[in-house]
Amino acid sequence: MASNRPPGCDADAFKARVAARVDAEREALLALSGRIHAHPELCFAEQRAAAWLAEYLEHAGLAVERGAYGVPTAFAARAGSGRPRIAVLCEYDALPGIGHACGHNIIAAAGAGAGVALASVIAETGGSVVVLGTPAEEGGGGKVLMAREGAFAEVDAAMMIHPASLELISMNVLAISAIEAEYRGRAAHAAAAPFAGINALDGLVTAYQAIAQLRQHIRPTERIHGIITDGGQKPNIVPERAAGLFYVRAANERRLATLRQRVEGCFHAGAQASGAELHLRQVGEDYSDMWTNAPLAAAYQANLGAVGRAVVDAPLEHISGSTDMGNVSKLVPSIHPMVSIAPPHVALHTQEFATYAASPAGERGVLDGAKTLAMTAIDVLCAAGLLDAMRVAFAHETAAGARTS
């Protein structure tokens, strides 16, 4: 793909300018992060966060499309024209009960800040930038839905940062599938006529115990966890309905399919043992494992020093999880680095991490994240050979993925 990169694109000068623009936006970015943190919204219900981000980007001169790619709380904010085209991604959904315990307020503000900084120089660097507001990372798969509608069809690189308790270039991303298991039995008086009932909860509990035993015989990179969402109405009524939500994770999509089949066998065993009728339902979109584009990640790592950060030498499994950014990485060269905002002992998806997401360390994560994303985008726009190296690495990843599928 041809590039409209101008001759003599001075990467260092442009990096200094985008970093200065982030500093100039400091008050607005921190207010944006704090407002999103204070008003957590669940997946596909992020009306306020999406509106605040869109308004900020529009005020800075980007052309904003609300409800982009068929997702009501998504947006696309564009500046520049032609290729290379760089996508900077924002997430802004929260978790039930514990709010922004994954720090998506930081992801959102950092992505928006990087986009505004890049928009201020894009006419001189050539190429274009699109800030994509991607809802429902916590289970809804907003990026997957947007990708199906062409969000990444003409994008040369996709990037975002995620807050964590360590500074990492990549996260150990597992493929994931979410399953709802529903058992339907027959109600009866539990004391007067238990023999007349079919206990749906027995079916679910039998399956739960079978899955617990299965966990002894899965790979170290695999995970199965679930909750009971409906266990009946009252102890003296044989439960006629029981339901649970389960996540199945594995190192890649092929292993995920195999493990999911084994888990579904446990659900069917519960139905056979109890006599209850089983209904399985896919919840949301399957998330893929992540292909971190090595040349793009190396460029990001080189920019960390400019903001006083350095990657820690930690086992990759220290931070493990799943994200629909994995699906994006199978479409376009991508990175998903982690910016440290909390001490190493503080885990994601805890109330303690939610507190750090609104702390001075979290605010620094917003500003440093915006700067490093913007500077890495400048490398893609200006550095000779980087774009070609990214494409070669992506082609190798694609070929390797095809061999293991």
Residues 136-177: pLDDT tens digits? 999 899 999 999 999 999 999 999 999 999 999 998 899 999
DSSP 8-state symbol, 61: T
Mean pLDDT over the full length of the chain: 95
Around Cβ 3, how many Cβ atoms within 10 Å? 15
Q: Same topology for domains 11-172+289-404 and 175-287, yes or no?
A: no
Report which DSSP code applies to 15. H
Residue 95 is encoded by which pair of tokens? 């978790």
CB 161 within 8 Å of CB 338: yes
The CATH class of the 175-287 domain is: alpha beta
The band of 110, judged by pLDDT with boundaries at 50, 70 and 90, is very high
Q: Residue ranges per domain, the chain?
A: 11-172+289-404, 175-287
369: CB partners within 8 A, 6+ apart: 106, 107, 110, 113, 114, 161, 163, 339
CA distances from 189 to 202, 206, 231, 243, 307 (A): 16, 21, 16, 20, 67
CATH topology of domain 11-172+289-404: Aminopeptidase (3.40.630)
**Cα 259 to Cα 248: distance, rounded to the nearest angstrom:** 7
Least confident window among 44-48, 84-88, 103-107, 164-168 = 164-168
| Residues 54-67: tens digit of each pLDDT | 999 999 999 999 99
Residue 319 in this model has a pLDDT that exceeds 70 = no
The DSSP secondary-structure symbol of 383 reads: S
Determine contact, residues 286/175, Cβ cutoff 8 Å: yes
172-173 vs 320-321, strand pairing mode: parallel
User: Is cis: bond before 84, omega within 30 of 0?
Assistant: yes
- Entry pTM: 0.93
